[in-house]
Structure 1
């Protein structure tokens, strides 16, 4: 009996202390950490082609979502920040709130290393919250089209525990 309780207790402690600091599903892989007073994200999408976009959203739903959008146009990667307030493209920030350390596109793979301030558009990204990963969407005549699949949600991401 004591051994069973001990095993259960150890298993519970392991679950509580484990922290989600990475994501991998389908074409998208990401990992993140707090570094130098910012949230640093390494992002990769292995199925993104010219005139497509992919994104990370912070928040529970489309009605109030801070976003980092990676757009591939003419073989170049553009990274923008903004806010989605409903179903439709986000409103981009007048001044980009992302520091792009590296972003490139080769073949069908986008790789990026970016950081955003811990207070990202009025949201403390260190707090535990839902993150959304959008696999892809089209860009038509320079405008973002609707994403082609439901975003993958990761609940209770506590970036403050990722160092």
Structure 2
């Protein structure tokens, strides 16, 4: 009897640890993250991103005040920018960013990027659990971000500190 209670406790503990997901995968997007050297490192892949399109991660529960990392492919060039949304529409980009781009490649329709941000990024404290939003794609027309082509995938209660 006692050993079965311990087994149940061990299995429950494993379930709690396993539920602390450090990965998101849906449609074209695959993202993993971990705390590395006191910063949040995000490995991001979108395997259906075309030239003159963008994809993004937004941090926060809604569009009115969300911190974002936007990955853009314009004229075959990759740019990664940070900013904040103020409602429905393109974000207001930061003049300078505390984002470190560790690697970024685009080949065919595949974007791979590794970025690192501080744990207190643009007022977003990653030491607390957050809602993350993954935008599959949106067009860039005349240098301006267009509306995303599908509803963002929301991933609630992401606790980055559990990913080491």
Q: TM-score, normalised by structure 1?
A: 0.93
Is 1:71–2:63 an aligned residue pair?
no
Corresponding residue for 1:12?
A: 12
CA displacement, residues 94-117 of structure 1 (integer Å, 9 cap, x when unaligned): 112211111111000000011111
The secondary structure found in structure 2 opposite 1:34 is: strand
Query: By how many angstroms is 1:11 displaced?
Result: 3.9
CA displacement, residues 2-59 of structure 1 (integer Å, 9 cap, x when unaligned): 7876665444322322211111111000111111121101100000000000000111
The secondary structure found in structure 1 opposite 2:148 is: coil
**Distance in 2 between the 1:138 and 1:153 partners?**
20
Is 1:30–2:31 an aligned residue pair?
yes
CA displacement, residues 39-91 of structure 1 (integer Å, 9 cap, x when unaligned): 10110000000000000011111111100000001111100000012111000
**Distance in 1 between the 2:150 and 2:4 partners?**
44
Corresponding residue for 1:54?
A: 55
Corresponding residue for 2:98?
A: 97
The secondary structure found in structure 2 opposite 1:63 is: helix
**Distance in 2 between the 1:126 and 1:111 partners?**
26
**Distance in 2 between the 1:152 and 1:7 partners?**
36
**Would you say the 8 A contact 1:82–1:93 is kept in 2?**
yes
Moved more, 11-20 or 91-100: 11-20
Q: Count how many residue pairs are aligned between Structure 1 and Structure 2.
A: 163
Q: Where does structure 1 lack aligned partners over 5 or more consecutive residues?
A: none
Q: TM-score, normalised by structure 2?
A: 0.93
